[in-house]
Every structure is written in structure tokens, then in C-alpha cells.
Amino acid sequence: MRVVVTGGAGFLGSHLCDRLLDRGDEVVAVDNLVTGSMANLAHLDGSRGFSMLRHDVSQHIRVDGSVDAVLHFASPASPRDYLELPIQTLKVGSLGTHNCLGLAKDKGARFLLASTSEVYGDPQVHPQAEDYWGHVNPVGPRGVYDEAKRFAEALTMAYHRAHGIGVGIARIFNTYGPRMRPSDGRVVSNFAVQALTGRPLTVYGDGSQTRSFCYVDDEVTGLVALLASNLAGPVNIGNPEEHTVAELAELVIEMTGSQSAIIREPLPVDDPAQRRPDIALARSVLGWEPTVALADGLANTIGWFRRELGRAR
Ligand code: NAD
Ligand code: UDP
């Protein structure tokens, strides 16, 4: 296959590029580097079948030659990033998705959308299955991300229904692993870097809010299974093992052997109180479920941050 991966220089997108190239696909990564980095793709420089196009996908996208799949992963994804880039986030979810769907239509390609558990907002149903419509504050600060992704899902389904293009909507739940940006502000990167540098771990609120953390290798396996299927979705791709943020802080301190304290900081506005995917659909239709335990995934991730911080020093 020849696959276009938007957001290919980001955390998830770069792992996706690796997986596709490993199985023999050709990959065109398209990225404007707003939150991504060429360092995530440096190991692919000169690799057979790989090319990179530096481009903002909120502008018309031109890719020469045939394309079998368009994987739309471009978007600021960490709350810190999308709160700093609210308009770019809305544009890449709306105009960017429109351009990517147009490219898929033009090339007769399958289209995959990186949607998110944030479409469920601060959910009042637990765990979240795909038929739950969510509980989103459209005018709150997180609305720029949540509503961009909800619009992207609606547009994807409109192209599917009106133009008959093959689509797959993945609702991705909190994913972690090597190549997260140390300063992206997400909980795993923050806690790992804080613990490794002896700074206090910043638990927002009382730490009783929950998340369900999926290791990046598992996530990519689920996404590739969705790509290979005919499923339009939406389908949750995440790890159903749920932890409080306070538990995660304790675990990171234990695993790093850090002397860091744990401190409390204010809970961000509209921070979801609980989040856990129901993955019955992914299990039955894609035959997928995560296999990497949190302790193992965190060990790899902490090891990677340790090396990155050492390199930076
Ligand atoms: P990331 O910030 O590491 O990667 C996003 C990439 O998109 C970056 O390389 C960035 O430069 C690029 N980008 C952003 N706007 C662009 C634009 N207008 N044109 C071209 N490139 C642009 O984030 P990530 O965690 O790898 O997330 C990737 C995708 O997965 C996003 O769409 C995100 O919403 C989705 N997602 C991620 C998670 C997660 O836990 N990592 C959870 C749910 C959904
Ligand atoms: N969080 C935290 N301390 C941090 C960063 C995040 O307590 O330093 C909390 C945050 O309030 C949220 C959870 O961890 O409840 C996950 O946050 P993240 O930014 O990773 O992703 P989200 O799931 O909110 O998009």
C-alpha cells in the first residue's frame, strides 16, 4: 500500500509510519511540525519507501501518484498544546479533515480518522461504549479539541454516506510511550520527567480522576487492524485498565526510585472525572485487545525519557 500519514512527525504518527514501513508499505508523512519533530523520523531518513512533506493540512494537500490510504493524525493532541493553539486545532479538525477526505476521495483511498475519547467529554456513562453520545461543553476551553474531533467524525461519516468512500473512525484513548514530548504537559510525560529530574509530581485536583492508559505498540496494532478492516466505526481503541491519577503518580515514583514529592495543583476546567473504554466492538470485529501491562509500558517509556534527558544534558 501507499499510505499518507498526516501528523507523521508526531508521537503516534511516527510509530504508525514505522509499523507501515516495517510491513513493506510506502509512506508519505505530511506534517507542519507545530507539535511534532523531525527527530521522531530521523531514523527513517533515506529509508526505502519513506518520504516527508512539510505542509499544513488545513491548506489544500497535493500528493502526486496513487494513494491507497489516508491516515489523518495531524492535530495538537495534548491539552497544553490545544489550549495554546485553539484556532489551529479547530482548523485542522475541520478544514484539515475536509482536505484529507478530499484527497482520499480523489485517490479512491481508505480514510482513517484519529478521533478521541474526548468526544465523550466528561462522560456520565461509564465505561464509554461507542453508542454513547457524550457530554461535552462546546464553549469551554477543551471545546476547541472536542468539537473539532466531533465535527471531523461527522464530516467523515458524511463523505462515507454521500461519496461512498471507505472510512474508519478510531476513538483513541490516552496513549503513552517513547517519543512523547517531555514538555507536552500530558500526565505520563509530566510524571516521568518530574520523577527523573527530582522535581515534585504535579497531581491536578485530588488525583481521584481516572484514565485508562494504552501503550503505543498496542494502540498502533489496533489502528492497523482498523485500516485492514471494512469497519467504519467509530470504534474505541484503548486499554480498559483504569487507574486514578494519584495511583499513576505513586507507580511512577516507585518505578523510577525517585525521591520526588507529590504536590497538588488546581484541576483544569472541564477535566473529565473518569474515562475508560468499552472495547467489545474492537475485540469482536477487529480481534484486537491490548497486551502490554502498564508496568511494562511504563518501564519502556521511563527508560526512553531517561535516555532523552541524558542526551539533553
Ligand atoms: P502529537 O502532537 O505528537 O502529533 C500530532 C502531529 O500533528 C504533530 O507532528 C504536529 O506537528 C502535526 N500537526 C498538527 N497540526 C497540523 C497541521 N495543521 N498540518 C500538519 N501537521 C499538523 O500528538 P499525538 O499524541 O501523536 O496525536 C496524534 C493524533 O492522535 C491526533 O490527531 C490526536 O488528536 C489523536 N489522539 C491521540 C491520543 C493520545 O493519547 N496520544 C488520544 C486521542 C487522540
Ligand atoms: N494531570 C495531572 N498532572 C499533570 C498532568 C495531568 O494530574 O501534570 C491529570 C489531568 O488533570 C487529567 C489526567 O492527568 O486528569 C490526564 O491528563 P492528560 O493531560 O494526560 O490527558 P487528558 O486525558 O486530560 O486529555
pLDDT (tens digit per residue) in 227-245: 999 999 999 999 999 999 9
Q: Which of 190, 204, 210, 270 to mutate to test the pocket of ligand 2 (most atoms within 8 A of CB)?
A: 204
Q: Which ligand is nearest to the CA of 271?
A: 2
Which atom belonging to ligand 2 lies closest to the Cα atom of 268? 11
In sequence order, which residues have a C-beta less than 8 Å from that of residue 134 and are 6 or more positions away?
A: 119, 120, 121, 123, 150
Quick check: 312 pLDDT over 90? no
Indicate the angle between helix axes 294-312 and 187-196, nearest 10 degrees. Answer: 60
- Distance (Å, rounded) from C-alpha 21 to C-alpha 38? 17
User: Ligand 2: distance of its center to the CA of 187 in Å?
Assistant: 5
Would you name the residues annotated as active-site residues? 145
Which ranges of the chain would DSSP assign to H, the alpha helix?
11-22, 79-84, 86-91, 97-107, 143-163, 187-196, 216-228, 245-256, 280-281, 294-312
Average pLDDT over residues 3-22: 98
Cis upstream peptide for 127 (omega within 30°): yes
Question: Quick count: other Cβ atoms within 10 Å of Cβ 253?
Answer: 18
Q: Is the CB of 268 under 6 A from ligand 2?
A: yes
Q: Is the CB of 203 under 6 A from ligand 2?
A: yes
How much is the pLDDT for 305? 97
Q: Where in the chain is the domain with CATH 3.40.50.720?
A: 2-175+214-237
User: Ligand 2: distance of its center to the CA of 95 in Å?
Assistant: 28
Which of these, 216, 211, 199, lies nearest to 272 by C-alpha position? 211
User: Ligand 2: distance of its center to the CA of 271 in Å?
Assistant: 8
- Distance (Å, rounded) from C-alpha 172 to C-alpha 249? 22
In tens, the pLDDT along 124-183 reads 999 999 999 999 999 999 999 999 999 999 999 999 999 999 999 999 999 999 999 999
User: Ligand 1: distance of its center to the CA of 257 in Å?
Assistant: 31
Instruction: Give the 3-state secondary structure of residue 212.
Output: strand
User: Is the Cβ–Cβ distance between 239 and 216 less than 8 Å?
Assistant: no
Quick check: 311 pLDDT over 90? no
User: Ligand 2: distance of its center to the CA of 39 in Å?
Assistant: 25
Cell of residue 94, nine digits: 475541520
Q: Is the CB of 172 under 6 A from ligand 1?
A: yes
**Residue for cell digits 481503541?**
237
Q: Is the CB of 300 under 6 A from ligand 2?
A: no
How much is the pLDDT for 84? 97
- Considering only CA atoms, which residue is closest to atom 23 of ligand 1? 77
Q: Is the CB of 148 under 6 A from ligand 1?
A: no
pTM over 0.85: yes
CATH topology of domain 187-210+242-275+292-312: UDP-galactose 4-epimerase; domain 1 (3.90.25)
User: Ligand 2: distance of its center to the CA of 121 in Å?
Assistant: 14
- Considering only CA atoms, which residue is closest to atom 33 of ligand 1? 77
How much is the pLDDT for 5? 98
CATH topology of domain 2-175+214-237: Rossmann fold (3.40.50)
User: Ligand 1: distance of its center to the CA of 34 in Å?
Assistant: 9
Which atom belonging to ligand 2 lies closest to the Cα atom of 204? 7
Q: Which ligand is nearest to the CA of 112?
A: 1
Q: Specify burial of residue 132 (Cβ count, 10 A radius: 0-12, 13-18, 19+).
A: middle
- Distance (Å, rounded) from C-alpha 17 to C-alpha 224? 11
How much is the pLDDT for 313? 79
Quick check: 286 pLDDT over 90? yes
Q: Is the CB of 229 under 6 A from ligand 2?
A: no
Which atom belonging to ligand 1 lies closest to the Cα atom of 96? 18
In sequence order, which residues have a C-beta less than 8 Å from that of residue 67 and are 6 or more positions away?
A: 2, 3, 4, 28, 103, 104, 107, 109
Q: Which of 70, 75, 183 to mutate to test the pocket of ligand 1 (most atoms within 8 A of CB)?
A: 75
Length of the chain: 313
Question: Quick count: other Cβ atoms within 10 Å of Cβ 4?
Answer: 26
Would you state the torsion angle of the CA atoms of residues 222, 113, 241, 205, taken in this order, to the nearest 10 degrees? 160
Q: Where in the chain is the domain with CATH 3.90.25.10?
A: 187-210+242-275+292-312
